[in-house]
A and B are shown apart, each in its own frame.
Chain A
Amino acid sequence: NAGVTQTPKFQVLKTGQSMTLQCAQDMNHEYMSWYRQDPGMGLRLIHYSVGAGITDQGEVPNGYNVSRSTTEDFPLRLLSAAPSQTSVYFCASSYGEGLGYTFGSGTRLTVV
């Protein structure tokens, strides 16, 4: 039981490049979310999903895209990287509404 697995752990991108942050969980959790964490701002929700085939926007969705084709995987796509997207990204999953979330170890992304 690996929990929530994020890859890569570190990434440097040039402005305008695109990439996908991977997130996978093996706990059969229906709910999955992506957060970004910036200094002094806590964690902010980017996108979330309540089950395969269902996604919705969070607080800061611009510049990011998601899909949920399986229960296990919830990739986050950066369409055209900008320096403002430099951040630490966390993926998290939960059994359901009202329950606690388990977090992945994070991806530190730098856009130059």
Chain B
Amino acid sequence: EDKVVQSPLSLVVHEGDTVTLNCSYEVTNFRSLLWYKQEKKAPTFLFMLTSSGIEKKSGRLSSILDKKELFSILNITATQTGDSAVYLCAVNSWGKLQFGAGTQVVVTP
């Protein structure tokens, strides 16, 4: 059975801290892995990863994929209160997205 597992489920950090979120997966016909940010509304796209070892960066966020060990990490450096959200990992398999349960991140001032 296909599965996507995120860890931790939640964490609380102080502004300026660095956060590392984990996503492991077991799916058939892997096409890509996606990260989304969700703030009480629709998920918004962060990254799409298809190749191992190539880091994607956008400002203070970065992500990397390991297709051999079947996991991805999302890093957020110098966190701000605006980074408080649920971060969702999804794997695209056969054109469908399978999501993990998400990691809730709370950044305190």
**Chain A interfacial positions (CB closer than 8 Å to B):** 31, 33, 35, 40-45, 48, 50, 58-59, 90, 92, 94, 96-106
Contacts and interface: CB of A to CB of B under 8 A. Distances in A.
A33 B99 contact: no
16 contacts: A35-B97, A42-B88, A43-B43, A43-B88, A43-B90, A44-B99, A48-B96, A50-B95, A96-B95, A97-B31, A98-B31, A100-B34, A101-B97, A104-B42, A106-B41, A106-B42
A99 B92 contact: yes
Given A101-B34, A102-B45, 12 more contacts: A35-B97, A35-B99, A41-B101, A42-B100, A42-B101, A43-B88, A43-B97, A43-B99, A96-B95, A99-B32, A100-B32, A105-B41
B6 to A, nearest CB: 8
B102 A103 contact: no
Interface residues of B, number: 23
A104 B45 CA distance: 12
A21 to B, nearest CB: 14
Contacts of A31: 95
B47 to A, nearest CB: 9
Contact of B95 (A41, A97, A103): A97
Contacts of A90: 42-43
Interface string B29-55: 001101010000111110010100000
Contacts of B92: 97-99
Interface in B53-109: 88, 90, 92, 94-102
A33 B42 contact: no
B95 A100 contact: no
A40 B101 contact: yes
B43 A100 contact: no
A90 B36 CA distance: 14
B103 to A, nearest CB: 10
A99 B93 CA distance: 10
Contact of B50 (A50, A98, A106): A98
A92 to B, nearest CB: 7
